[in-house]
Structure 1
Amino acid sequence: MRLPTGPLRLLVLATLVNTLGNGLWMASSALFLTRSAGLSIGQTGVALTVTALVCMVASAPMGYLADRGGARGVLVAGLIALAAGTAALALVGSVWTFLLVAVPMAIADAAQRAAKGAVIAGAVPADKRVHTRAYLRSVTNVGIAAGAALAGVGLALDTRAAYLALIFGNAITYLAAAAMLSRLAPVPRSPKRADGPRLIALRDRPFLAFVALDGLLSTHFGLFEVALPLWIAHRTDAPRWLIAVLFLTNTTVVVLFQVRAARGTDEPRGAARAARRAGLALFAACALYALSGSAHHGVTIALLVAGALTHVGAELWHSASGWGISFGLAPPDAHGQYQGAYAIGMQLGQMLAPFVVTTLAVGWGGPGWIVLGAAFALAGAAMPAVVGWALRHRPFVTGPDHAATEPATA
C-alpha cells in the first residue's frame, strides 16, 4: 500500500497511530476492567452498553458542533479529551468511577468521529471522499491488528503495571494523532442557518430511512465477531483454531481490497447498488454458514471458509456504500451532523447485534441463519429505492462539480 501525499498522508498517519492505540485498548479493556479496576463481568457489560448509548445519542449533536465550530478544531479537541480520559482510567476502582470517566469519553469520541467525516469532506475533493474512507479503513485494520498483537504482551504478564502501560500507550497515541491532524488546513465553519431546525439530519426522513437500513446491515459485524465463533465452537465439528484463521483472513482481505471494492460508490446511486450486492452476498454467506452445521470434517471447513470469504466481500461493499450515500446525501454545510447521524445506524446495529445474531443463528440454528440472510437481502434490495427517494427530495445535485443548497425534508 503506497503512502499518499497531501492531506490524505496526514489522515493516514494519524489514523495508523490512533488505531494502534485503539488495538491496545480493545484487546485489553475487558481484562483490565475485571481483573485490575474491580468491576464484575456484569458491571463491565452494563457500563460499556451505557457508554455506547451515550456515544450514539451524542453523534448528531456533536456533528452539528463540528459544522459550526470548525471540524478540524473539534477533531483535535476530541482526541485530546480522549487522551485525558484514557489516562484517567488508571484511577478507576469501581463501576461508578468508570462511568464518571467513560461517559465524557463517549461524548468526545462521538465528536471526533463526526468531525473526522467533516474533515474528510472539507479536505478531500468530492470524488475522492469514498476512496479516502476506504484507504483509511484499510489502515485502521493494520493499526488495530498491530495494537492487539502488542497488547498480547501485557495480557500475558497480567499485572496492573502491564495494563497501565497499555492504557498510557493508548493515551499517547491520541495525543500524537491530535498533533498530526492539527497540521491540516482548517475546515471553514458553516454559518448558522437563518431559520428552521438546527439538527436537520434528524428531520431528514429519507436519510433516516437509509440510516435504519444501514443499521440493519451493520448487524453483520456482530454476526462475524460473536455468532460465528460460537457457531463454530458449539454447532459444528470444525476445529476451534479455524476461528482465528477466519478472523485473520477477514482482516487481510479488508486491508488488501477495501479500496478496490469502493470503486463506483462515489455517488449515491452507485453506492446504493453496492448495498444491494452486499445484502445478497450476506444472504449467500448465511446460507453457507447454515449448511456447515450439518456437514462433516473437511466439508464443514470448506463451507465455513467459503462463507467467511463471501461475508468479507459483503462487508467491503456495505462499508463503501455507507460512505458514498452519507457523503452524497449531505448538504455541504452539514457534513458533520450527517456523518454523526449516519454513525447512529451503525452504532445501534452493532449494539443490538450480539443478542439478535446469537438468538437467531446460534439459538435457532440453520433456519435462523436463513432468516438473518433474508433480512440482509431485503435491506440491501430496499436501498436503491430509499436513495432514489432521498435524491428526489433534494434541490441540490450531488457530485464533485456541483454546489449544493439546503435539502428539503419529506
Structure 2
Amino acid sequence: MLSRFAVRSARPGWARAAWWRRPVGRVYLASLVLSLGKGAWFTCWAMFFLHEVGLSTSEFGIGITAAGVLGLLAGGPLGYLADRLGTRETLIALGVVQGLSILSYAFVDGLWTAVAVTCVMIAADRATPGIRIALIAGLTTDEDRVESISVNRAMTQGGIVVGALAGAWVLALDNSAGYLGLVLIYGTSVMGCAAVLWRVPHVASLNDRKVRRPVLVLRDRPFLLITLFNGLLALSWGMLDSGVPLWIAQHTQIPLWVMGVLMGANAVVVVLFQNRVSRAALTVRGAARLGLWSGVLLAVSCVLLAGTGSDSGVVALLLLAAGAAVHVVGELFFVSSGFGLSVALTPEGAHGEYQGMFASGQSAALTFAPGLMTVLLVDGGVAGWFVLAGVYLIGGVGTLWAARWAVRSGEGAAAWSTA
C-alpha cells in the first residue's frame, strides 16, 4: 500500500486530473489546445494564401505586415480594457472574435478580404498572450505567478510542436480539402477554448472595485524601456524561424533539412527547461541578470553562426549545432527574464495593460524580424551577424540597466532582492 502511494504521489502534476481542474489548470488546457491549432495553422498558412486564395508572394507579404502592425498597436489598449472589464471576459471575447475570423478564411476570395480577415485574426492572436498572462497573474500570487506563467509557456510550446506536425501533413496533401478542413478545425477549437475559460473564476476588475484611473503604463518609463529591450532580445525568435534558414540557403552548403532538426530540438529544450530556468527570475535582480546573460549568449550564437559561411563540411555543421545550442539557452534566459520583470514591476490591478504593453515589444519583433533578417543576413552576409550580435548586447545590457532604474525610481523596489 505504501509503495503504491509513493508511486502515485511521484507522478508529475500534469499526470493528475486534479492538476487540470484547478483554475489555472483550465487556463493551461485552453492554451494547450489553442497552440495545437496555432502550430498547425502557421505551418501552412502561407501555402493556403498562395495556393488556395491565389495571392502572390508580394501580396502575402504586404498583408502579413499590415496585420502585424495592427496587432502591435492593439496590445496596450486591449490590455487596459481587460483590466477595466475583466481579464477572463476579455480573453473569452477575443477567442470568439479570433475563432470567427479564422472560420471566415473559408470565404476569402482575394487580397482585400484576406487582409481584412487576417488583420482581425492577428490583432486578437497577438493581444491574447499578454491578457492570458494577466489572467494567470490574477489567479496566483507571489512566486507562483512566474512559475505558472512559465508552465503555460512550456505547454504552449509543446502544443505548437505537435500542431506543426499536423500542419506538415496538410502541406503534404496541398489541396482544398486539407486547407479548409484545418480552417474549420482550428476556428472551432479556438471558440471551444473560449468556452473552457467560462469555468475559470472571475478576477476582480477595475469596474468591480469601482476604481477610476488613467492608463499607468505609458507613464512608467523604466517599464517601457524594459519592453523595448526585451523586444530586441525577442528578435531571437525571428532569427531561428527566418534568419538561420535564409542564411543556410544563401550562404552555406548545409542542407535545409537540418533546420527541421534544430527547430525540433529547440522546442524540446524549451518544453523541458523553461520552468526550471524561470525559477531564477523570481526577483527583479534575478530576472535582470537573466536578461543580461541572454543578450551575451545570443551574441555568442551569432558569432558562431557567422563562421558557418566559411566552411561547407563538418566544421560548419558543428558550428551550426553549437550556435543553435547557445541560442536556445539565450532564448530560455530572455523569456524567463521577461516573465520575471513584467510580473514583478506591474502594480496590482494593472496586469492587463502592463502585459499588453509588454507583449507589444515581442509583437514588434515578430512583425519586423523577417525583413530585418533578410537585410542583415542575406544582404549583409557575415557582417550582418555581428550587427545582430550588437543588437542583442544592447538588449541584454539595457534590460539590466532599465531594471535597476525601475528599482531606483521606486517601481518594484520591494521585488529587488539579494537573496
Aligned residue runs from structure 1 range 127-138, under 5 A: 127-138=143-154
Residue 85 of structure 2 is aligned to residue 69 of structure 1: yes
Select the residue among 43, 57, 67 that pairs with 2:59.
43
Assess if the C-alpha contact under 8 Å between 1:110 and 1:340 holds in 2.
no
Are 1:68 and 1:192, in contact at CA under 8 Å, matched by a contact in 2?
no
With over 3 angstroms needed to count, the CA separation of the structure-2 counterparts of 1:230 and 1:99, relative to structure 1, is closer
Structure 1 residue corresponding to 2:269, chosen from 211, 236, 253: 253
Q: Answer yes or no: is the 8 Å Cα contact 1:39–1:93 preserved in 2.
A: no
1:225 to 2:241 alignment: yes
Partner of residue 134, structure 2: 118
**Aligned residue for 1:82?**
98
Match of 2:363 in 1: 347
Counterpart in the other structure of 1:406: none
Q: How does 1:226-375 map onto structure 2 within 5 Å? A: 226-375=242-391
SS at match of 1:59: helix
Q: What is the distance in 1 between the residues matched to 2:253 and 2:210? A: 60
Question: Quick one: distance in 2 between partners of 1:212 and 1:310?
Answer: 23
Is the contact between residue 406 and residue 412 of structure 2 (CA under 8 Å) also seen in structure 1?
no
> Greater helix share, 1 or 2?
2
Alignment-derived partner of residue 195 in structure 2: 179
Change (3 A) 1:152 1:242: closer
Which position in structure 2 is the counterpart of 1:407?
A: none
Aligned residues: 398
Find the partner of 2:37 among 6, 21, 38.
21
Superimposed CA distance per residue, residues 197-238 of structure 1 (whole angstroms, 9 cap, x where no aligned partner): x22212221111111111111112111111111222222232
For 1:129-172, what per-residue CA distance to the aligned partner results, in whole angstroms no more than 9, with x for missing partners? 22122211211121111112112232222221211100011012
Cα separation, 2, equivalents of 1:72 and 1:303: 46
C-alpha distance in structure 1 between counterparts of 2:130 and 2:279, whole Å? 23
Measured against aligned partners, the alpha-carbon deviations of 1:250-287 in whole angstroms (never above 9, x if no partner) come to 11111111111112102222111000010110111011
- The 1-side partners of 2:312 and 2:123 are apart by 48
**Conserved 8 A contact 2:72-2:364:** yes
- Any idea what the Cα deviations from partners look like across 1:62-118, whole Å, max 9, x if unmatched? 001100001111111111111111111111011111233233333433443332121
Distance 1:107 1:157 in 2: 29
Alpha-carbon distance in 1 for matches of 2:400, 2:346: 17
C-alpha contact 1:211 1:342 (8 A) present in aligned 2: yes
Bigger drift between 45-54 and 372-381 goes to: 372-381
- Report how far residue 38 of structure 1 moved: 2.7
SS, match of residue 347 in structure 2? coil
Note the C-alpha offset of 1:2. 4.1
AA of the residue aligned to 1:361: L
Name the residue aligned to 1:210: 226
Alpha-carbon distance in 2 for matches of 1:313, 1:110: 24
What's 2:398 paired with?
A: 382
Q: Distance in 1 between matches of 2:133 and 2:234?
A: 18
CA 1:147–1:169: 2 relative to 1, 3 Å: same
Partner of 1:392 in structure 2?
A: 408
Counterpart in the other structure of 2:157: 141
- Alpha-carbon distance in structure 2 between the residues aligned to 1:86 and 1:146: 20
Q: Separation in 2 of the partners of 1:357 and 1:73?
A: 37
Q: Are 1:53 and 2:69 an aligned pair?
A: yes
Contact 1:60-1:199 at 8 Å conserved across structures: no
RMSD: 1.8
- AA at the equivalent of 1:271: A
Code of the residue aligned with 2:274 in structure 1: it is Q
Q: Note if contact 2:283-2:340 (Cα within 8 Å) is conserved in structure 1.
A: yes
Aligned AA (1:213): F
Q: Does structure 2 conserve the Cα–Cα contact (< 8 Å) formed by 1:71 and 1:336?
A: yes
Structure 2: unaligned runs, 5 residues or longer? 1-11
| Aligned residues of 2:281 and 2:287 also touching (Cα < 8 A) | yes
Indicate if the aligned counterparts of 2:68 and 2:123 stay in contact, CA closer than 8 A: no
TM-score, structure 2 as length reference: 0.90
Shift of 1:184: 0.8
Q: Percent identity?
A: 36
State how 1:89-100 maps to structure 2 within 5 Å. Answer: 89-100=105-116
**Cα shift readout 1:3-44 (whole Å, capped 9, x = no counterpart):** 145223212211111111111211121111111123222111
Instruction: Tell me the CA shift for residue 240 of structure 1.
Output: 2.5
Structure 1 ranges of 4+ moved more than 4 A: 191-195, 395-400
Letter in 1 for 2:168: G
Q: Which amino acid aligns with 1:60?
A: G
- Work out the CA distance in 2 between the residues paired with 1:288 and 1:375: 16
Asked whether the equivalents of residues 20 and 173 of structure 1 are also in contact (C-alpha less than 8 Å), the reply is: no
Q: Deviations over 1:350-406 (max 9, x none)?
A: 222222223223322222212211221232022222111112223665559xxxxxx
Residue in 1 aligned with 2:48? 32
Alpha carbons 2:239, 2:369 under 8 Å: kept: yes
